[in-house]
Structure 1
Amino acid sequence: MIVLPGGGYAEHAPHEAEPIVDWLSGLGVEASVFRYPLNVRHPVPLHALRAEIRHRRASGTDRIGLMGFSAGGHLAGLAALAPGAEAQEVVQCVVLGYAITSMETKTYRPARLILLGEDASPALRRSTSLDALVTRESPPFFMWHTAEDAYVPPDHTYRFAAALTGHNIPHAVHVFAHGPHSLGLAEGAGDTATWTALAASWLRERATA
């Protein structure tokens, strides 16, 4: 599992990096953080992540999943869905935490400006929106969000889930009532903290699928 921390494409949030790897390792899942390029325009981060996936495959890894948070979730989704992937760049599953999925709707504006620029065309914004990239060959997704997220509204998860549904892609969606953006493992966050148990169960199912 390749872990992609959030940070608005401007930084890598520490609590969405090694702590996530430690949790996954406790589940018996081999995982590591990939610190993708920051403060650069699309498609630089996408190309870097796909190169990392190829590297993992070349080292003998068969099944590869992505786990991304916020902007890292957006990048994970792009790598899984954007056209042009080589056979060695295909991933088997994706876990998204409070991810930016659309560049067309209200979102964390600084991330969009870094990735696409101030004058991004409607076509560019559409081509970097995950809901526009789903096909019948897309991998399964697990998504979680909070209804109170003020930086990346939960509509991002709802919108993307609708696209997955429309293409009959297996997915799980959990939107918790309370909690701010960028919770990471969400320890001590009430019901929202159960996302890790739900994701662990889902990952076990994917491992035997």
Structure 2
Amino acid sequence: MKPIFFTALFLIGSCGFSQQDELAVWPNGIPGALNNASFEEAYTYDDDGTITGISKVSKPTITPFLADASLANGTAVIVCPGGGYTHLAIEKEGYKVAKWLNTLGIAAFVLKYGMPSDETMTDKTIGPLQDAQEAIRMIRRNAEKWHLDTSKIGVLGFSAGGHLASTLSTHFDEKVYEFKKGESARPDFSVLVYPVISMEDGVTHQGSKNAL
């Protein structure tokens, strides 16, 4: 069965959830990575000191937001924030969305994917895709610990993150790194929110295309 695509707009609410620490997507080393100590994460903040954006990401992570046990239904979603493949709108299109999903009983995993860069990647065109593929495989490997149904793991992305979500949904079996046989990266459903859905001139978001 092919993944189901939805394009959606929604209001964000919040209530009971459990945010856990960031987990490295590649604890044993990032495939195709170039060592560049000067390429360090940079942050933007709101007036309250909350981190709202992250740029120059070179060490991908997922941050689990688990629904309260009284609501949890076994469904999980990887959330891919947008930002034109140059930064991540990590609060508005990441953490806030994850908290809202928790109110529906859905576990959420905010993906801080690597920003495509010739400074840190041997092939920047596949960098974000390999992060997304490994993230979904990682979640399936830990499904029992997080009380998830391995057949109900999807992906949701905004803007450039929507492009990444759609790329994962259509290129889930593309071998962009070495992985263990039998570990599927196929999303069971996909939600694309104002996505960058094409790289064709005239219809694409030029900034995203240039960055990737």
- What TM-score comes out, normalization by structure 2 length? 0.52
Higher helix share: 1
Alpha-carbon distance in structure 2 between the residues aligned to 1:79 and 1:39? 16
Q: Is residue 2:190 matched to residue 1:113?
A: no
In the TM superposition, residue 8 of structure 1 has moved relative to its aligned partner by: 0.2
Alpha-carbon distance in structure 2 between the residues aligned to 1:38 and 1:69? 15
Q: Percent identity?
A: 35
Q: Partner residue of 2:194?
A: 98
* Higher relative contact order structure (alpha carbons within 8 Å, sequence separation ≥ 6): 2
Alpha-carbon distance in structure 2 between the residues aligned to 1:97 and 1:91? 16
Q: CA-to-partner distance for each residue in 1:173-204, whole Å, 9 max, x for gaps?
A: xxxxxxxxxxxxxxxxxxxxxxxxxxxxxxxx
CA contact (8 A) 2:116 2:127 kept: no
- The alignment yields a C-alpha RMSD, in angstroms, of 1.5
Number of aligned positions between the proteins: 115
Q: Is residue 2:96 matched to residue 1:22?
A: no
Alpha-carbon distance in structure 2 between the residues aligned to 1:39 and 1:50? 15
Q: Partner residue of 2:62?
A: none
Q: Partner residue of 2:82?
A: 6
CA shift in 2, pair 1:58/1:18, >3 Å: same
Q: Is residue 2:141 matched to residue 1:58?
A: yes
Q: How does 1:26-41 map to 2 (within 5 A)?
A: 26-40=103-117, 41=124
SS in structure 2 opposite 1:55? helix
Higher strand share: 2
SS in structure 1 opposite 2:112? coil
Q: Which structure 1 residue ranges, 4+ long, deviate > 4 Å from structure 2?
A: none
CA contact (8 A) 2:116 2:125 kept: no
Unaligned runs of 5+ in 1: 116-209
- What TM-score comes out, normalization by structure 1 length? 0.52
In the TM superposition, residue 39 of structure 1 has moved relative to its aligned partner by: 3.3
Letter in 2 for 1:73: G
